[in-house]
Amino acid sequence: MIAIFSSLTTVNRIKRYFQSHGEVVTILQTPKELSKGGCTYSIRLQERQLRLLRQAAEELGVKIKGIYRETQQGGKRVYEREGVL
């Protein structure tokens, strides 16, 4: 799964939050297929970490721009937007 945020500072704050809870996430530049509004950054996480992601965003006062499920179809990455953020 990929969660998109507006800045590198924000994803670093989210990553530190996860680390403080004994969890690991990876920072990446948002894939171009999902970055329609310019340069954004994302974290790659597991589905089981979604609850902690929402908790982190609420406690840190940051907005999640989108959450997407990432799959492979025909050798190409495909992104499907998750439901309610």
Q: pLDDT digit string (tens) for 25-78?
A: 999 999 888 887 677 899 999 999 999 999 999 999 999 999 999 998 998 989
Q: What is the pLDDT of residue 84?
A: 55
The pair of structure tokens assigned to 11 is 């994803």
CA distance linking residue 51 with residue 38, whole number of Å: 27
Contacts of 34 (CB under 8 A, 6+ apart): 2, 4, 42, 66, 68, 79
Is 70 exceeded by the pLDDT of residue 83? no
Q: What is the pTM of this model?
A: 0.87
